């Protein structure tokens, strides 16, 4: 039986086993997925055991700490200096991948060159989202409490990707203008504080569609308000499932039908709702 795991600390509640076990069934594979909580300073001691697996996922705080143990990285991992998926060769070599960006692009939909995109927050996953939007040639506006971090990213993007054709600016608050896409990359609205929204309804009304990286609750207040205004809204469950599906492609060479992934997204959302409604 092929063995896979998620490493991180503290792991707490994770939907990864739920998702991957269903992906294994879809692929007709005999495989198991576990959680491996590695304490601080314990990563080096854990690596020999990880080399015996077929692959593993990586979450906080090891997405960068794993880098010295890798034999190589794919383009996405190298672009962000961050790894969330590791494949293991038969001789135990580790290769890093970043499937978060693929999961994001699968979920968010088209980002036409020149389209106006509003991003709330650019730390962690928001940095990746900003970069992918910029690489698509969009006009990106970033609203971020840490102004210095946002300004540093705004200066870095054109320097690193001069041929991308995108533009980027930083604002203290959302400008009074229309946007094709509003993206939330902050934890505002996440369980258990689901009554919070990162922007006002006036901002949502000026945006054609919404993407919220949060997956718990499965429908955030931002998403509810967008849908009430007739705007399409997608939550973080789609990104989480798609990044897992891409990891499976890397590990096992399997592909999935889009309708099967969409069904799994709905199943995961129902499971999140069930688990947290019981609390």
Q: Is the pLDDT of residue 279 over 80?
A: no
Average of pLDDT values for 250-271? 96
Residues 212 and 140 in one domain: yes
Helix (H) or strand (E) holding 8: strand 2-8
CA 221/CA 125 separation, integer angstroms: 20
Query: pLDDT tier at 115 (50, 70, 90 boundaries)?
Result: very high
Q: Per-residue pLDDT tens for 16-53? A: 999 999 999 999 999 999 999 999 899 999 999 999 99
Residue 96 has pLDDT above 90, yes or no: yes
pLDDT tens-digit map of 210-227 = 999 999 999 999 999 999
Structural domain for 72, as ranges: 2-98+238-277
pLDDT at position 6? 98
What band does 277 get if pLDDT is binned at 50, 70 and 90?
A: low
Same domain, 82 and 151: no
The residues annotated with a catalytic role in the active site are 63
CA 238 distance to own-chain centroid: 9
Same domain, 229 and 139: yes
pTM: 0.92
The pLDDT of 150-164, averaged and rounded, is 96
Q: Do both 51 and 137 map to the same domain?
A: no
- Per-residue pLDDT, 268: 96
Same domain as 190, residue 81: no
- Name the average pLDDT for the chain: 95
pLDDT at 278: 55
Q: Are 155 and 79 found together in one domain?
A: no
Q: 113 and 222: one domain?
A: yes
What is the CATH classification number for the domain harbouring 137? 3.40.50.720
Q: What span, in angstroms and rounded, lies between the C-alpha atoms of 47 and 84?
A: 15
User: What's the rounded Cα separation, in Å, for the pair 48 and 45?
Assistant: 7
15 band by pLDDT with thresholds 50, 70 and 90: very high
Q: Is residue 216 domain-shared with residue 271, that is, in the same domain?
A: no
> Does residue 110 share a domain with residue 73?
no
Residue 131 has pLDDT above 80, yes or no: yes
Residue 69 shares a structural domain with residue 55: yes
Looking at the structure of the chain, the number of domains it has is 2
Average confidence (pLDDT) over 67-75: 97
Residue 266's pLDDT is what? 96
Contacts of 107 (CB under 8 A, 6+ apart): 211, 234, 236, 238, 239, 242
């Amino acid at each position: 039986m092929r063995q896979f795991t998620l490493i991180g600390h503290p792991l707490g509640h994770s939907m990864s086993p739920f998702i991957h076990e269903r992906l294994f069934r879809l692929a007709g594979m005999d495989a198991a997925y576990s959680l491996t909580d590695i304490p601080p300073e314990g990563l080096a001691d854990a690596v020999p055991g990880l080399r015996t697996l077929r692959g593993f996922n990586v979450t906080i705080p090891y997405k960068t700490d794993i880098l010295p143990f890798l034999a190589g990285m794919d383009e996405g991992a190298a672009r962000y200096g961050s790894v969330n998926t590791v494949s293991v060769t038969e001789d135990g070599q580790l290769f890093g991948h970043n499937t978060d960006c693929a999961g994001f692009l699968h979920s968010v939909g088209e980002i036409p060159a020149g389209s106006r995109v509003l991003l709330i927050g650019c730390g962690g996953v928001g940095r990746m989202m900003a970069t992918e939007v910029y690489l698509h040639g969009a006009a990106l506006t970033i609203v971020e409490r840490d102004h210095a971090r946002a300004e540093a990213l705004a200066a870095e993007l054109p320097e690193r990707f001069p041929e991308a054709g995108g533009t980027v600016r930083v604002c203290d608050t959302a400008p009074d203008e229309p946007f094709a896409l509003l993206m939330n990359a902050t934890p505002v609205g996440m369980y258990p504080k689901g009554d919070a929204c990162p922007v006002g309804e006036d901002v949502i009304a000026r945006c054609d569609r919404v993407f919220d990286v949060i997956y718990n609750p499965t429908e955030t207040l931002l998403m509810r308000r967008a849908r009430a205004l007739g705007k399409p809204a997608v939550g973080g469950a789609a990104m989480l499932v798609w990044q897992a599906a891409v990891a499976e492609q890397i590990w096992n060479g399997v592909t999935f039908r889009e309708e099967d992934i969409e069904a799994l997204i709905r199943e995961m959302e129902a499971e999140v709702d069930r688990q947290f409604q019981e609390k």
